[in-house]
């Protein structure tokens, strides 16, 4: 995000006249609405906002947001975003990618944009499948996923986007899912983080991977399966009857029962978004034995890449006159007069 003067817009101001071409029922619709609903609340300016995307279903996103938009090439959106932000740091840059675009063909760029800490919001729509190419398994597909390219089931282990992001040096990690009512809160937190903000959004591919996330996203029983993290609050779920505590012997997390609301007695951890050690445990916390960790897992800003680049340029330019004629004549020169050199 940038320190801008908030302007007043409505959700309508962020809708384009283009027909949305996702499959009916696709989770992308819900994410689009969440973003369009959030932007006015942030006071964002359409003229100052750029959505940059790669290739895939998710990457059609910019066409549907009334702002500046750049639909680039497969996996490379972070590199384009870097050029845009270095050229004009005042722009608000949102990067939209998917599990194939951001974790497979573009994994390298995802790593480096996070490591450099470019100020932008990275929304990785994870549907655990290649949708636009008709359903092949993706780098986040679970082991055994059957697909046109893995008719006997996939044999490779899936990547974990949030663990990858943290390993790459990300300073903001959050999770949400398409139809979650909390998604706008997550997006706002990402926007307010100065630096690269990585948000994994589980997204239902209605055609090729239908209801893949129902095990934790289904409304029924959601409170038992979702752990919504809030800074300064104890890590409680199941209506406060369970919590996450630290197993100090194994140095792992564990689920504990909370009796009569006395979470302190049960050793439940208070979420500190700046605690990187806990963040490592949260991104690795397996769903099943544990609930799905959602919300802001980690948020500890550091100076941004573009600020460092600009500061360096200013420092290096200080007191130097950009005189082209002098530059061209720099170094050892000699003058030739009519009839020969003057030594």
Partner 1 sequence: MATQLADPEARSTNAPEAVVVRFAGDSGDGMQLTGGQFTLSSALAGNDFATFPDFPAEIRAPQGTLFGVSAFQINFGSTSIDTAGDAPDVLVAMNPAALKTNVGALKPGGLIIADTGEFTKRNLEKAKYEVNPLEDGSLSKWQVLAFDISALTLESVKPFGLGNKEALRCKNMWTLGLSLWMFDRDRQPLIDWLNAKFAKNKVLADANIAALNAGHAYGETAELGGHVKKLHLGPVPTPAGLYRTVTGADAVALGLVAGAQLAHLPMFFGGYPITPASSILHALVRLKEFNVTTFQAEDEIAAICAAIGASYAGQLGVTSSSGPGIALKTEAMGLAVMTELPLVIVNSQRGGPSTGLPTKTEQSDLYQAVYGRNGDTPIPVISARSPGDAFDCAIEACRIAVQYMTPVILLTDGYIANAAEPWKVPDPADYAEFPVSFLAEKNAGDTLLPYKRDAKGARPWIKPGTPGLMHRIGGIEKQVDTGHLDYSPANHQAMTDARKAKVDGIARSIPAQDVCLGTEGGKLAVVGWGSTYGPIHQAVGRARNKGLDVSHIHVRHIWPLPENLGDLLRGYDRVLVPEMNTGQFKTVLRDQFLVDAKPLTKTSGQPFTIAEIEAAIEEALA
Residues engaged in binding partner 1 (CB under 8 A): 16, 18, 46-48, 50, 52, 55, 62-63, 66-74, 76, 78-88, 90-91, 108-109, 111-112, 309, 312-313, 316-317, 320-322, 324-325, 327-341, 343
Q: How far is the CB of 314 from partner 1 (least distance, A)?
A: 8
For the residues of 235-265, what is the DSSP string, one character each? -EETTTTEEEEEETTTTEEEEEE-STT-HHH
Q: Which two tokens stand for residue 156?
A: 């490779």
Give the bridge partners for 296, in sequence order: 174
- Those residues whose C-beta lies under 8 Å from the C-beta of residue 153, and which sit 6 or more positions away, are 143, 144, 145, 146
Phi, psi of 180 (to 5 degrees): -70, 135
List C-alpha distances in Å: 155 to 138, 150, 284. 12, 8, 20
In the complex, the smallest distance separating the C-beta of residue 27 from partner 1, rounded to whole angstroms, is: 21
Distances (CA, A) of 329 to 29, 317, 325, 335, 336: 59, 19, 6, 11, 14
User: 62 or 295: whose CB is closer to partner 1?
Assistant: 62
As a whole number of angstroms, the distance between CA 70 and CA 73 comes to 10
CA 6/CA 298 separation, integer angstroms: 26
Minimum distance from residue 118 beta carbon to partner 1 (Å): 10
Toward partner 1, which CB reaches closer, 28 or 128?
Answer: 28
Shortest Å distance, C-beta 58 to partner 1: 13
In angstroms, give the least distance from the CB of 300 to partner 1.
Answer: 23
Cβ-based nearer residue to partner 1, 124 or 269: 124
Q: Is the dihedral of CA 319, 322, 328, 334 positive or negative?
A: negative
Min separation Cβ 168 and partner 1, Å: 11
Are the C-beta atoms of residues 40 and 65 closer than 8 Å to each other? Answer: no
Q: How far is the CB of 56 from partner 1 (least distance, A)?
A: 13
- Minimum gap (Å) between residue 205 Cβ and partner 1: 21
Q: How far is CA 251 from the centre of its chain?
A: 28
Nearer to partner 1 by Cβ, of 151 and 339: the residue is: 339
Q: Closer to partner 1 by CB, 262 or 321: give it.
A: 321
If the CB atoms of residues 69 and 291 are measured against partner 1, the closer one turns out to be: 69
- Minimum CB separation of residue 144 from partner 1 in Å reads 33
What whole-number distance in Å separates Cα of residue 218 and Cα of residue 210? 12
Based on C-alpha coordinates, what's the Rg of the chain?
A: 24
CA distance 136 to 240: 40
C-beta of 14 vs 202, nearer to partner 1: 14
Which CB, 181 or 320, lies closer to partner 1? 320
| Contact call for residues 53 and 96 (beta carbons, < 8 A) | yes
* Contact criterion met (CB below 8 Å) for 51 and 62: yes
In terms of CB distance, is 128 or 306 closer to partner 1? 306
């Amino acid at each position: 995000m940038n320190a801008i003067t908030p302007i007043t817009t409505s959700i309508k101001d962020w809708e384009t006249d283009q027909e949305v071409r996702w499959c009916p029922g696709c989770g992308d619709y819900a994410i689009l609405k969440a973003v369009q609903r959030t932007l006015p609340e942030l006071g964002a300016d359409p003229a100052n906002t750029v959505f940059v995307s790669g290739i895939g279903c998710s990457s059609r996103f910019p066409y549907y947001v009334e702002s500046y938009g750049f639909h680039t090439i497969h996996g490379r959106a972070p590199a384009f975003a870097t050029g845009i932000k270095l050229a004009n740091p005042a722009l608000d840059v949102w990067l939209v990618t998917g599990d194939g675009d951001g974790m497979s063909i573009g994994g390298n760029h995802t790593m480096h944009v996070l490591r450099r800490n470019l100020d932008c919001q990275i929304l990785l729509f994870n549907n655990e499948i290649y949708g636009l190419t008709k359903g092949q398994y993706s780098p986040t597909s679970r082991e055994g996923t059957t697909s046109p390219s893995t008719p006997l089931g996939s044999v490779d282990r899936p990547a974990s986007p949030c663990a990858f992001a943290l390993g790459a040096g990300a300073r903001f990690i959050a999770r949400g899912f398409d139809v979650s009512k909390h998604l706008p809160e997550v997006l706002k937190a990402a926007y307010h983080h100065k630096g690269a903000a990585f948000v994994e959004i589980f997204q239902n591919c209605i055609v090729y991977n239908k209801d893949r996330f129902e095990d934790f996203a289904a409304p029924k029983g959601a409170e038992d399966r979702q752990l919504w993290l809030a800074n300064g609050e104890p890590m409680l779920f199941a209506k406060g009857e369970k919590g996450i505590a630290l197993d100090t012997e194994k140095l792992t997390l564990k689920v504990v029962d909370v009796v009569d609301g006395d979470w302190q007695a049960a050793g439940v951890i208070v979420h500190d978004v700046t605690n990187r050690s806990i963040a490592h445990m949260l991104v690795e916390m397996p769903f099943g034995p544990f609930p799905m960790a959602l919300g802001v897992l980690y948020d500890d800003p550091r100076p941004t890449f573009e600020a460092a680049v600009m500061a360096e340029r200013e420092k290096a330019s200080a007191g130097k006159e950009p005189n082209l004629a002098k530059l061209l004549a720099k170094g050892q020169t000699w003058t030739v007069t009519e009839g020969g050199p003057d030594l």
